[in-house]
Structure 1
Amino acid sequence: MSQNKDVSRATLRIKDLANEDRPREKLLKKGTVSLSDAELLAVLIGSGTRDMSVIALAQHILKANGNSLQELAKRSVQELQRFRGVGVAKAITIVCAMELTRRRAYETNSKKELVDSSAKAYALLRPDLTDKLIEEAWILLLNRSNYLIKKVKISSGGITATIVDPSSIFRLVLEHQATGIILAHNHPSGDHSPSNADIQLTHRIVNAGKLLNIDIMDHIIFTDSSYFSFSDQRILYP
């Protein structure tokens, strides 16, 4: 009797499920594509609570994030720990898995990248500016043939703004002997429209670049699903 009580109070693990409901066994027999998002997440979590199976816990976490992996990827370790049954170790596992997925999805080749369009600049910086809850500013440093030298984060700030120091930008340009740059920053709000401050800053940097013979090729405003290009919209120059 006491043994049954112990079992009922124990944490429900994947191994306690029926064979056909075990994600690991299902993966081995049918491959990863046979697993739902909840089942994949359940494998990462490993165990549920005394009142909720690991599959149910995974479904609960996904539902709380709109059944969106993109939204789940934005959650911090602390936010994930708010779910009953998710301790620091499980939260870290989920966060790391989301980060690996992001890096793999947007991994670039080690060869030199030609950056000759806003779309290519967006693809290069997307792994750095996707799923961010605060604004960050980055630059792409380019050589005379528009090949990437380096991408650099130059500032990070709050939800609605980040401070960009033009002098720090041109210091990096000179250090890396770049001849052109592309500016970029994200809008966590999801609205990629430039603000008046964005436009004023862009024109200030463009004018400074003219004095130093540095080509400001574009300023791109990121959201998770789209972008705005000053160059494409022909408002790069004052």
Structure 2
Amino acid sequence: MSSPKITIKNWDESDRPREKLSRLGASYLSNSELVALLIGSGNLNETAMGLAQRILKSVDHDLNKLHQLPLEILLKFNGIGLAKAVKIKAGLELSKRMIQKKDQKGVVMNHSKIVFEHLQYDLAALDHEEFWVIYLNQSSKLIEKFKLSQGGISQTTVDIRLALKRAFEVGATAIILAHNHPSGNLKPSQSDKNLTQKFCEAAKLVDLSVLDHLILSEKGYFSFADEELM
């Protein structure tokens, strides 16, 4: 006969996630404790904490991967119904939006690391390719981030004319190109190099500067400008 499940209510009060948050603040809680608070309860065999730990383990404790996890995958966990799955997705989306608030107009994008930090959450963990353009004013301050295209696992179609048209619409004088490699390989392909060259040539004709082209993945980023390939 299996031993009865020890619930969170049986824990010492100082160790319970809800009481700990109330006493110390949310920053003192682990990711597992925060997810446990979101789902509220576990199942017949495990506590909310145990279930939260199992969910996080399935994505290598990577919150970006958890955010990208489809609802139908979350629903396969015993104890996770639609209401709990939606709470997890909503909580992570709020976190994403808080991070993206840093991307307000006026941020100076004068280093590849800054560009990477502003695009990491958008691109690094995706399982498909996307191509984005960052539009800047003459002081290299951010005007807008724009998703130009979305493709499959290994490529996406890019319309240079659309990218340049958008530059005129927002009054940009410079742009930074960026796309992700779902494979994790940060080495630029020959097609990446050719596309960068085409962008530079087309932009020059309309007095628009292409400052950099970043390739992103969960492993980090590659900068054409840093490697003197522009």
Aligned-partner SS, 2:68: coil
What pairs with 1:143-158 in structure 2 (closer than 5 Å)? 143-158=137-152
The answer on 1:54 being equivalent to 2:48 is yes
Alignment length (residue pairs)? 226
Report the 3-state secondary structure (helix = DSSP H, G, I; strand = E; otherwise coil) of the residue aligned with 1:192: coil
Shift of 1:172: 0.8
Q: Post-superposition shift, 1:65?
A: 2.0
Partner residue, 2:228: 234
Deviations 1:74-127 (A, max 9, x none): 312222111111112211111222222233345316451222222222223233
**Where in structure 1 are there 5+ consecutive unaligned residues?**
1-7
| Paired amino acid for 1:26 | K
Report what 2:180 is aligned to: 186
Contact 1:115 1:148 in 2 (8 A): yes
Q: Which secondary structure state, in structure 2, belongs to the residue aligned with residue 73 of structure 1?
A: helix
Match of 2:167 among 167, 173, 193: 173
Letter in structure 1 aligned against 2:17: P
Q: Bigger radius of gyration, 1 or 2?
A: 1
Counterpart pick for 1:118 among 107, 112, 115: 112
Structure 1 residue aligned with 2:131, among 118, 130, 137? 137
Q: Which of 57, 63, 66 lines up with 1:63 in the alignment?
A: 57
Identity of aligned residues (%): 40
Provide the residue aligned with 1:74 in structure 2: 68
TM norm structure 1: 0.84
Aligned-partner residue type, residue 159 of structure 1: I
Residue 213 (structure 2) aligns with = 219
Uncovered stretches (5+) of structure 2, i.e. residues with no partner: none
Match of 2:198 in 1: 204
Rounded to whole Å, the distance in 2 between the matches of 1:44 and 1:84 is 16
Q: 1:86: which partner in 2? A: 80
| Root-mean-square deviation over aligned CA pairs | 2.3
Query: 1:5 matched to which residue of 2?
Result: none
**TM-score normalised according to structure 2 size:** 0.87
Q: Shift of residue 200 of structure 1?
A: 1.0
- Secondary structure (helix, strand or coil) at the match of 2:228 reads coil
More moved, 128-137 vs 105-114: 105-114
Cα deviation, 1:7-33, whole Å, max 9, x if unaligned, reads x8xx9975x544535321232234334
Moved more, 27-36 or 154-163: 27-36
Q: Which residue identity lines up with residue 212 of structure 1 in the other structure?
A: V
Residue range with higher mean Cα deviation, 154-163 or 141-150: 141-150
Q: Cα deviations across residues 38-69 of structure 1 (Å, max 9, x unaligned)?
A: 22211111111122222221122122222333
